[in-house]
Chains A and B, each alone.
Chain A
Amino acid sequence: MKILCKHKRMISVFLRRYHVGSRLLNFVVHAAAAVTVLVLGFLVAYIVVRGVPNLRPSLFALQYTSDNQSMLPAIINTCTMTVVSLLLAVPFGVGAAIYLTEYARRGSRLTRLVQMTTQTLSGIPSIVYGLFGMLMFNSALQLGYSMLSGALTLAIMILPLIMRTTQEALSAVPDMYREGSFGLGAGKLRTVFSVVLPSAMPGILSGVILAIGRIVGETAALMYTSGTVAKVAGLMDSGTTLALHMYKQASEGLYLNEAYATSVVLLALVLLINLLSAKAAKLMVKGRG
């Protein structure tokens, strides 16, 4: 009986100590989460408060003048830039990833080399891509300041990202699907395109969305390639995207209010992309799963 009591006491002491420790940990974790949310909330609130009052209809005029800092041309250019960059990068990125995961021997020299290259490339600051693009496309290929030169630069920049996410998505497809397909007499091509790729689609799509995020938010890589002309631009014209437009407004210091208004739109755009992509991914999974 005595022993039992002693035992009980020890347990309760232990529990109390443990309790204090776990409560502390509990607090720290909650505080960390709260700080994160607060910072984010503050940021969004600040931008909205400073930006929304400056959102005038004239900011969405088709023409940009130095009196009317319209952002509509920049919005349109952002869309053009996104579409063209993706059209350039996605086929190569996805194609290369398919080759590396499905065709090349796993762990071969080539695979390792490409792996290393893509890892290195994704760590390079975007300003370096910008300078490379300027030297390569603007000067050497004589494209000048142009949307095309900007899109080519961005395509190179997002290529490693798309390759890596696609590779990951493909490797996550269970081998039993491949075996099932081969076992029915399907060849490599049919197996990859009818079974493996569709299963990997949500993963590939999420990579593409990450890439869109980078394109929409990019400034440094575009400054020296697409230029900062705030007009609706064709492929061979210089044209600014929304992020770059905002950067210019803010750095010149004359149009801070307009810059805030632009950032609200940019924020909304990013939010919209995320929502749409989440929906797309869900639809795709539902259609199959």
Chain B
Amino acid sequence: MNSPNAFEVRGMNLHYGSFHALKNIHLDIPRNQITALIGPSGCGKSTFLRSLNRMNDLVEGCRIDGDIRMDGEDIYGKIDVNHLRKRVGMVFQKPNPFPMSIYDNVAYGPRTHGVKSKAQLDALVEKSLKDAAIWDEVKDRLKKSALGLSGGQQQRLCIARALAAQPETILMDEPTSALDPISTSHIEELALTLKDQYTIIIVTHNMQQAARISDRTVFFLLGEVIESGETEQIFSSPADKRTEDYITGRFG
């Protein structure tokens, strides 16, 4: 707990069958900061993100070696995977609210982890929806289906749903790629306010977005981390030619 890092990744390799998707990754992810993962399509950003809450366990033929530690604890060691996923929440590229009411969506996590009291659930649902900046839009229709919301609202609902499980870290995989500019800026503001309480790791194809909201940036290319550091430094004076090519748009 003394280390300022939420995650420490050492010598990590990931294979999908015979395909070597992530190669010898060394990376520190500091607590209570926003870390942006950038890089061209197919370079392994989602794969890396999904290995932090072990979502890749669901993929057949996926093999991981090396060392990934969260608060010093090996997350591929003897731990409860469900508890890990409670601590490390996830927001997906495509909003995926469950086909149930708005309330039930947000209460899903807490109920899963044993919260039964109605008062406690009510409070948690309200707080999560407020933290996700969507409370005012949905407070009169909590019992209505979540599928009736707009795409941007659905994504904020998914963020609320993730918050309600009371995680420490939130992984976001291109959370705004399916949204219009207004919803996008909503979610960016949200990320900025959330970082006081949570560690946030966000995958994005939008360089401006990475520059606007992240404290640190990691550049992936073909399964390798080419460069990582302070966002300001990466964007103003990248050490590697390939990073510079990518962020200036001279790259696939």
Contact = CB atoms under 8 A, between A and B. Distances in A.
A4 B166 CA distance: 73
A180 B95 CA distance: 9
B145 A194 contact: no
Interface stretch (A56-64, A110-118, A137-145, A181-189): A181-189
Contacts of A183: 53, 55, 85, 89-90, 92, 162
A186 B112 contact: yes
Interface string A106-129: 100000000000000000000000
A182 B88 CA distance: 11
B115 to A, nearest CB: 12
Interface in A39-94: none
B109 A184 contact: yes
Given A185-B82, A185-B113, A179 B100 contact: no
A2 interface: no
Interface in B63-114: 82-86, 89-90, 92, 94, 96-100, 108-109, 112-113
A18 interface: no
A99 interface: no
A198 interface: yes
Contacts of A198: 99-100
A176 B96 CA distance: 6
B100 A184 contact: no
B83 A185 contact: yes
A208 B82 CA distance: 34
A16 interface: no
B240 interface: no
A185 B98 contact: no
A282 to B, nearest CB: 14
Q: How large is the interface on A (under 10, 10 to 19, 20 to 34, 35 or more residues)?
A: 20 to 34
B121 interface: no
B99 A179 contact: no
B161 interface: yes
A7 interface: no
A288 interface: yes
A182 to B, nearest CB: 7
Contact of B112 (A178, A184, A289): A184
Interface string B158-196: 100110010000000000000000000000000000000
A164 to B, nearest CB: 23
A184 B161 contact: yes
Given A105-B60, A194-B108, A288-B145, A184 B85 contact: yes
A190 interface: yes
Interface string A4-32: 00000000000000000000000000000
A179 B96 contact: yes
A103 B145 CA distance: 29
Contact of A180 (B58, B84, B96): B96
Contacts of A288: 99-100, 145
Given A176-B96, A288-B145, A289-B145, A182 B55 contact: yes
A185 B168 CA distance: 13
Contacts of B83: 185
Interface in A186-222: 186-187, 190, 194-195, 198-199
A184 B115 CA distance: 14
Given A105-B60, A198-B100, A184 B147 contact: no
B158 to A, nearest CB: 7
Contacts of A180: 92, 96-98, 158, 161
A199 B97 CA distance: 12
- Residue of B53, B90, B96, B158 ringed by the most chain A CB atoms within 10 A: B96
Contact of B165 (A174, A185, A190): A185
Nearest to A191: B112
A195 B99 CA distance: 8
A25 B47 CA distance: 52
Nearest to B93: A176
* Residue in B55, B99, B109, B113 whose Cβ sees the most chain A Cβ within 10 Å: B99
Contact of B82 (A105, A186, A199): A186
Nearest to B95: A176
B75 to A, nearest CB: 13
Nearest to A175: B58
A198 B96 CA distance: 16
A187 B99 contact: no
- Among all A-B residue pairs, the 9 with the closest Cβ atoms: A185-B86, A183-B90, A176-B96, A185-B85, A184-B109, A180-B96, A185-B82, A186-B112, A288-B99
Interface of A: 105-106, 174, 176-187, 190, 194-195, 198-199, 288-289
Given A179-B58, A179-B96, A186-B108, 4 more contacts: A184-B162, A185-B112, A288-B100, A289-B145
30 contacts: A105-B60, A176-B94, A176-B96, A178-B58, A179-B58, A179-B92, A180-B92, A180-B96, A180-B98, A180-B161, A181-B98, A182-B55, A182-B58, A184-B85, A184-B162, A184-B165, A185-B82, A185-B83, A185-B84, A185-B85, A185-B86, A185-B109, A185-B112, A185-B165, A186-B109, A186-B112, A187-B82, A199-B99, A288-B100, A289-B147
